[in-house]
Every structure is written in structure tokens, then in C-alpha cells.
Amino acid sequence: MTTNALRRNGSKGQAGDKVFSGAALGAGILILATLLAVAIFLFIQALPTFTADPTLITGGEGFASYIFPIVIGTVIAAAIALLIATPVGIAVALFISHYAPRRLAAGLGYVIDLLAAIPSVIYGAWGYLVLAPALVPTFQWLAANLGFIPIFAGPASQTGKTILTAGIVLAVMVLPIITSLSREIFLQTPKLHEEAALALGATRWEMITMSVLPFARPGIVSAVMLGLGRALGETMAVALVLSTGGLIPSLIKSGNQTIAAEIALNFPEAFGLRLAELIAAGLVLFVITLVVNLIARAIIARHKEFSGAN
Amino acid sequence: MSATTTRKTPNDSRNVQNPPPVARKRNSLAKGHLPRWAVPGIAAAALILGAAASTLGGFSVATLAIYTAIIFVIASTVITTLVEGPRHGKNTLATNLVYAAFLLALIPLASVLFTVLQKGMPGINTHFLFHSMNGITGAVDNASVENGAPVLGGAYHAVIGTLLITLWSTVISVPVGMLTAIYLVEYGKNGPLARAITFFVDVMTGIPSIVAGLFATALFAVLLGPTARMGIVAAVALSVLMIPTVVRSTEEMLKIVPNELREAAYALGVRKWRTIAKVVIPTAISGIASGVTLAIARVIGETAPILVTAGLANNINVNVFGNWMATLPTFIYYQILTPTSPTNVDPSIQRAWAAALLLIVMVMVLNLGARLVAGLFAPKKGR
Amino acid sequence: MSKRIDVKDLNVYYSKFLAVEDVNIEIEAKSVTAFIGPSGCGKSTFLRTLNRMHEVIPGGRVEGEVLLDGDNLYEPGVDPVTVRSQIGMVFQRPNPFPTMSIKDNVLAGVKLNGKKISRSDADSLVEKSLRGANLWNEVKDRLDKPGSGLSGGQQQRLCIARTIAVKPQVILMDEPCSALDPISTLAIEDLINELKSEFTVVIVTHNMQQAARVSDKTAFFNIAGTGKPGKLIEYADTATIFSNPSVKATEDYVSGRFG
């Protein structure tokens, strides 16, 4: 009953469409499958850690007491990084968006992006061979003059390979993340708000605190969270820079350890239960960074809905 | 009207062509403001005081800069507050701190680049570029230090490993990433699956690189046994890091392609997949290519995932499907952390910096390449 | 090389929203038919259903029949790609492919479908189509230059050349002159008059003088209010619509007494 002339050759060439859309769909599903596989395979390989006799785990007291100090170490290193990188990063973003001459601004943005492009192992090498020795006098001064504060308790490390050094290297690495995201949001501040503030006779700084920062606050928060995610997961800077050890409060002595560095340092020689332990540690790191990133994304997503109103 | 403005007769105000010569009197609007020379003046004073202060406790450029900066910030804030009032004082303080933060951020960048250039240049020579570490033992290094002979051993094997592993991860990531982006923009629209993929691509962006490495190891351990370490495992690990970047940049670029072009093609009786392949992608190709190049630049410097997937090799291995492989980042890492000769570390350190220089050059070339590519393939405009 | 279109009881939807309701219209072969009406009355939406471009928009669907010389466009098993190669379309804003030269733009419909075409055939098709679009003399010396380098009016004629190169039966034009200056508009209007000898032309326009100048028959669409579906109010010879319409709303609209 093919009376309809339009149906002739109807299916010719439709195979191409099917193959192509199928491939696109398949690629998308592959990504979902990969992520699921990350979770499943890590879990399978980590499983022996949770079932094994606690005395066989490194430290001899089970996985929880093995992982706890290095989780804290990870948090300390990331916290130092953020304490430094957040104010500097925001200030640099402000410099590029509101202070630097227009013609320079784009180029400066590119310079900051270069910071992000340098491989982490080179930052690690720099921290190990340049920054750590350079910080030794400062650490000794801190130990001598502020040693009564537990975080600066002496005697200071003679090599400078401390968690504070690692934190500073991490700060350099997360700075471009915070700067580039904040800068984008600063540039989106409605010109009307800025001009309204200036027309009231506000100084530049008052204009920024009145109109730019309130507008950008959710964006800054999520930028910092993304930076935190990076700082928590960064491996090389810590593995190379930190002279590891048990959990201690002093930031200027050797000691402390982070999850990522623990894995990198021990993995090449690990086998059997030790391997499972390290993979379990990786799983813990995965979950922590996942939560941090999800919070950051949630903040961005909520912010998106409101930014259109301006 | 203030006394400083010159009085004008009504006729004068029309005479805009020839304004009366302005007397060297200060404008009333400039009253209560610091004169222009105030900033350089305070800076010069701060420099002198800073120099004096730094000589007290052992002179160095670093202390000079720090003292000068601190004195300048405090002095200019105080003086502005006194002359112009506290609001302007705060403004000056904020301005100074913002400038200081920017200069502070430049220090590590400058220091890293300077160090790598200074320490890397001596190690770069044809021997380094075209020889592996095969047969280079602690004894060889000791000998070259004792005899003052040139350092032997190079990063040829690591360069080959870096290129091969990056190539394979690109081969895996680009089709998967591009097709996913095509699905998201052209097919999925805003359906539940598309939203799920977008969400999980975001999640993937945040995976720490070492976890990506562990995943690839775990995957191949299940498939091939626990000691499967080779180039392709590293390539899979890097793909996990690269795919989300490729998806993101491709998605952005496809979204920019105007819908009118798609409709124009459909209206000519062109099939959807041909429209995508021959109209949409060519229009967006410059942005996609530059995004892919940046993604390559990002993974080429990754160390942690290689450490746990490709092992370490001292010899040349061009087979990604068998045996351990070295890359430049792991080469740097091991040369620093476990020097070839524990007693004479200098040759290892020199090799590490030379490799670092090589790696930075690669990354910078890729970054610049991305910019060039973006311009080169851009749709031609004008006549 | 031209066919008639008969539309029977057509309802056009965006998801659940009924955009155009119950259209019945017969469009003669080798004639120019103009659709006029206020903004948002659904005339462009309706035009896009005539070559199944409406369904490209997510949620776009129709009920009813559109017959091309008796063959239903919306019969199950009909490939929209076949429909579109027989019923071409020119859009409101000129949209030459930015990555292609003038020549490749004309050949786009052939080449993008992967059909093999010999060099000489391609050259003669390019010349014929560009002559058909009154563009040949202006671009014959720069066929390899990008199409985006032409003026707006030239770009629109390039798009028409691109459409007729596929050798369709019908050409749909969606406000083809609204982005052009008066001189370019005149050139397109002259072209429409010539196209009539070979193709069935359907044109949507906001400009009533244009409808009066170029079309044989005119359809007036209107909408009762926002949120209500658009409807075909009156369809007759252009002369009748503009001088002696039978519906009050049509008269109000063409005489400019319409809000």
C-alpha cells in the first residue's frame, strides 16, 4: 500500500542517524558506567581491609585508627592552603577585575592561568629544593618567638620539609582556581550597582564592599570549595615537600601525612593487604572530595537561578 | 564660591576656545586631597626606612622588600587618613593590599620559572635528550662527580613514555568526550539522562588524580591480575581526568553554534548526523581543538596516576601494552626522591631540573598552541 | 517541478500548548502564497509544519494532514529528511554556513548528504542556482571566498540559491526580508516573482505591501488573545483580501486599524 511517494527511499540513510545517535548515547552511558566502576572497583579492592584482622593493619589497631591521623593531616594541609590562598586569590581577582588598567587585565588573567598550567610535580620539586630551605630561618624565628603557641612549637625542622611548607605550596596551586572563578563573578557584577555606589560618593573600596562583594559571595564560597577539593586531593606537592611522620600539632616540625601522599609514597612497594589498605584510603579521599565538590556545585547551581534576575 | 576659582565675566564663559590661563592655584575640588607626588614620595621614604631596618638584622633583598612594603602600606594609610579622612584611609589600605596580593602571587610563578630555567638549562643537551637511564647506576654518577665529567643518563625513555601515554589517553578521551558532549547538546536536550551525565561529569572533574590512578589499577587488577602495571593502565587513568575536561569544553563550544545553522541544514534535507558532523562540528572546531589541547596540557604533567599505574622504568619501552613505563613527571619525582646515587645527589637533581624544564616547555607550547589553534581554525570572516 | 500542498484539519502543538488550531488550506502549484497576520499568531509556526521543521523544536508536534500532491507528510514511515529535500526553506535571518565558501554553500545540500557529484556538474549547478537567485554576476569572481563576507541581501540570495540547488518542489520563506534594507528587499521580491515560474512559493511576511506586491493568494492568520491558539481567518486572492475582505478582522488588519 505504498501509495505515498514520500515513503520511497524512506529508510535510506537513516542507519547513519541511528549509529551516530547510538554512539553519542553510548559515550554518555560509558561515563556513568566509568564512575560507577570507580566506586565498585575501589570498593572490591579495598574490601580486605575491612574484613582483615585489625592487628594486621598498619599501626595494628584497625583501619579507623590508621586512616584517622592522615585524614586530619590532609585537612590541616588543605586548611593552611585555603587560609593563604583565599584572601590572596580574592585580592588578585579584584586587582584584575577592578584595579588593573583595562588593557593589562586580560594579559594578567593569562599570567594567573599560567600558574595553573605548571605541573604539580614541578611545584613539588620547587617546594622541596627551593621553598623548604628558604623557609628554615622563618621557622626557626617562629619557634623562638612564638613557640608557646602549639602550632609553632619547636624545635623547628632543619630542612623546612614541614606541613606548613606543603600547605604553602598547595596554596600556590589552588590560588589560580580561586582567582579565575572569583574574577569571572566580579566581572558579572551589574554595572548599575557599581555606578550607583560611585554616584553616592563612595570610594572604590566602599563600592567594592557595597556592591561587588555581596553580589559575588556565593560565587566566592563555591570557588573556595573547589579550591578545597583540589587541595585535599593534591598529591605531589605533599609527597615531595613533606617529611612525613605521625600526627603532631606543630606545623613547623617534620610530621603529619596526607592521604594522597601516603598512597603515592607507599603504593609502588605495596602488595596484598597493604595494597588494599592504600586503595581503601583512596576511597576515603574520593568520598571526601566528592562531598566537597558536590557542596560547591550545589552552591553554584543555586546561585545560577538568582543571577538571571539582575 | 571658593576663593581659589578665578572670577569670570559673563562674556568669558562663551569663550571656550581660549580658556584663560589657569593660575597655579589648586582646584577647590582637589582640596583635602594628597598631591600627586605623595605616592612616590611615601614609597621613596619607605624604601629608605626599609633599607635601614633591614640592615639591622642581616641585610637581604627579601627583608628589604618586606620591610619597605610594610612601611609603605602603614605610612600611606596613616597619611591618607590624616589628610583625607578615615574613609579614604581605608580605601588606600585596601588598594595597597590588593596590589600587594597581586605582587605576592607573582613571586611563586616567577620563582618557579626562574628556578626551572636556571637549574634546568645546564642539564639540557643532546645526551640528556636522546639517552635513557638504562645502565646508569649510582657508581656512574659517583664517577662523574669525582672526575668532574658531564652527567650521563637522560630522559629519552621518559619523553617517549610521556608522549605515548598522553597519546593513548587522548585517543580514548577525545571520542568519548566529544560524543558525550554531542549527546548532551544535540540529542539529550534536558532529559533525565542528560542531566545525570552533566552531574556526573561535574563529579568526575573533582576526582583527585591519585584516585583516578587507583581506579585504573583496580580495574586492571580485576581484569589481568594484581601486578598489571603498564602504559595503557596509565592512559586509562589519565582518560578519567581528561574526559570531563573534553566534555565541558566541547559542550560549551557546541552550544555557541547558532541553531539557525542546524535548521538551515535540516531544511536542505540533510540528515541530523551529517548536520552535526559537517556543519556543527566544523563551526565549533577551533574551540573544541583548543579545549582538547588544554586538556592534554593538563594531563601531560600528571604524576600521581602514573606512579600507581605505569610503575617506573629506566629503559626505553615503546609498548604501552606490556612492561613498566616512565614519564617525565615520574622521572622528576623519582630522581628527586630516590637519587640514583644516594651519596652524590647532584647528578640526579640536575637531571630532575632538566626534565622539569622539558616538561614546562611542553606544557607552555601546548597552552600557546591552544591559543593559536583557536585563532587558526576559527570560521573565516570578512572577504 | 512544483507541487501543490493541501492542509487538512491541522493542529500544531508545543508539547501540550495548542499553538495553531484547525487549519485547512489549499496552496496551488506555481503560485506565490503569502501568510500575513499579527505577531504571535502562529503563521511562522504553521509554515514550519509544511516541511516538518516544526518537530525540530523539542515538544513540537502536529495533528492532521499535510498533503504534497496527495502524499501525506506526516504518514508514519515518511522520513522528514525526504520531505525537507522536496520542500525547502529560507529563514528570517540569512544563515550561510560560516565554514564554507560561496560555492560550497550552494552545493551544501548535495555535498552534506554525501552525494557524489562531478566537477563539471557541480560547476554548472552552482552557476544555475546562483543565476536563479540573481546573484551570479555579483559573486562569480569570488566563489571560493567565505559566504559570510557578502552583504545581508546577498547572503539571503545565497541562501535562496542554496535552497534551489536541491531542486525542491516548494520553497517556504519565513519573513525573508525582515533583516534587509529596502534595496535588498526589492531584489528578493523580484526574485520571488521569477521563482514562481518553477516553484511553489509560500512566504510569511509582516509587511502587507510586500504581500500585496508579490503574492497571488493571501492567508490572514489571527489570534484571539495571548494563550489562545492562532487560526486561519481568511484565505483568498490577494486582490480580494486587500480590497474586499469578507471578514471584519481581516479588513481591520489590512487597513491598519488593528491594535
- Packing angle, helices A63-94 and A259-266, rounded to 10: 120
Same-domain pairing of B268 and B322: yes
Nearest Cα to C89, choosing from C49, C134, C51, C129?
A: C51
pLDDT score for A235: 85
Domain span including residue A87: 66-271
Rg over CA atoms, chain C: 18
Residue A38 included in any domain? no
B-interface mutation test, from A38, A184, A186, most B Cβ less than 10 A away: A38
Give the A:B interface size as CB pairs under 8 Å: 270
CB of C113 within 8 Å of a chain B CB? The answer is: yes
User: What pLDDT is recorded for position C238?
Assistant: 92
Cβ of A10 within 8 Å of Cβ of C75? The answer is no
Residue B326 lies in a domain: yes
User: Which residues are C10's β-sheet partners?
Assistant: C23
pTM: 0.82
Whether B18 is covered by a domain: the verdict is no
Same domain for B163 and B241, yes or no, is yes
Q: Say whether C78 and A11 touch across the interface (CB within 8 A).
A: no
Q: What is the pLDDT of residues A99-152, one digit of tens each?
A: 888 888 878 877 887 778 889 899 999 998 899 998 888 888 888 888 888 888
Residues of chain C under the 50 pLDDT cut: 259
Q: B106 and B167 share a domain?
A: no
pLDDT at A201: 83
Owning domain of residue B185: 156-376
β-pairing verdict for C170-174 and C32-36: unpaired
Write out pLDDT tens, residues A200-231: 888 888 888 888 888 888 888 888 988 898 89
Chain B residues close to A203, C-beta within 8 Å: 87-88, 90-91
Is A44 within 8 Å of B94 when comparing Cβ atoms?
no
**Superfamily name and number for C5-93+170-254:** P-loop containing nucleotide triphosphate hydrolases (3.40.50.300)
- Nearest CB to B269; choose among C84, C99, C111: C84
Cα dihedral C42/C47/C51/C57 (nearest 10): -30
* Residue B207 within any structural domain of the chain: yes
User: For C171, phi and psi rounded to 5 degrees?
Assistant: -120, 125
Using pLDDT thresholds of 50, 70 and 90, give the confidence band for residue A1.
very low
Closest chain B C-alpha to C152 CA, distance in angstroms: 12
Each domain of chain C, given as residue ranges in start order, spans: 5-93+170-254
pLDDT in tens, A5-51: 777 655 556 788 889 999 999 999 999 998 888 788 888 888 888 88
Number of domains in chain B: 2
Residue A306 has pLDDT above 70, yes or no: no
Task: Provide the 8-state DSSP code for A201.
Answer: T
Sign of CA dihedral A254, A259, A260, A262: positive
Best B60, B73, B81, B102 residue to mutate vs chain A (most A CBs within 10 Å): B102
Task: Flag whether B132 is in a domain.
Answer: no
pLDDT at A153: 78
Tell me the C-alpha distance between B88 and B33, whole Å: 10
How does pLDDT run across A156-166, given as a tens digit for each residue?
788 888 899 99
Q: Cβ–Cβ of C108/B265 closer than 8 Å?
A: yes
Nearest CA in chain B to C164: B268
Count of domains observed in chain A? 1
User: Within an 8 Å CB–CB cutoff, is residue A240 touching chain B?
Assistant: yes
Q: What 3 state SS string does chain C have? A: CCCCEEEEEEEEEECCEEEEEEEEEEECCCCEEEEECCCCCCHHHHHHHCCCCHHHCCCEEEEEEEEECCEECCCCCCCHHHHHHHEEEECCCCCCCCCCEHHHHHCHHHHCCCCCCCHHHHHHHHHHHHHHCCCHHHHHHHCCCEHHHCCHHHHHHHHHHHHHHCCCCEEEEECCCCCCCHHHHHHHHHHHHHHCCCCEEEEECCCHHHHHHHCCEEEEEEECCCCCCEEEEEEEEHHHHHHCCCCHHHHHHHCCCCC
Which pLDDT does position A185 carry in this prediction? 86
Do the chains contact at B87 and A203, CB–CB below 8 Å? yes
Alpha carbons C74 and C65: distance in angstroms, whole number: 6
Q: At what angle do helices B156-182 and A14-51 cross, to 10 degrees?
A: 120
Range with the poorest average pLDDT among A169-173, A297-301, B73-77, B195-199: A297-301
Interface subset of B 242-301, CB within 8 angstroms of A: 243, 247, 271-274, 276-277, 297-298, 300-301
C72 and chain A: CB distance < 8 Å anywhere? yes
Distance, CA of C163 to CA of C216 (rounded, Å):
22
Q: How many CB pairs under 8 A join B and C?
A: 91
- Across the 383 residues of chain B, what is the mean pLDDT of every consecutive 10-residue run? 42 47 60 73 80 70 78 84 83 89 88 91 85 80 79 87 93 94 89 89 86 87 77 91 92 89 91 90 89 89 85 78 85 87 84 92 88 70 41
Give the model's pLDDT for residue B11. 45
Instruction: Tell whether C68 lies on the interface with A, counting CB pairs under 8 A.
Output: yes
Out of B105, B121, B137, pick the residue that ends a domain: B121
Alpha-carbon dihedral sign for residues C249, C254, C256, C259: positive
Q: How far is the CA of A10 from the CAs of A186, B271, C10, in angstroms?
A: 54, 12, 23
- Whether B10 is covered by a domain: the verdict is no
Nearest CA in chain B to C143: B383
Whether B96 is covered by a domain: the verdict is yes
Phi/psi of residue C196, nearest 5 degrees = -55, -30
Task: Evaluate the omega torsion of the peptide bond into residue A155 and state whether it is cis, within 30 degrees of 0.
Answer: yes
CB contact under 8 A, C149 and B269: no
Residues of chain A contacting C82 with CB distance shorter than 8 Å: 6, 8-10
Q: What is the pLDDT at residue C25? A: 93
Contact C88 B381 (CB under 8 A): no
Domain CATH number, residue B279: 1.10.3720.10
Tell me the chain B residues in contact with residue C163 when contact means C-beta distances shorter than 8 Å: 267-268
Identify the CATH number of the domain in which residue A95 sits: 1.10.3720.10
Say if residues C135 and C110 touch (Cβ distance below 8 Å): no
How close is the nearest chain A Cα to the Cα of B131, in Å? 22
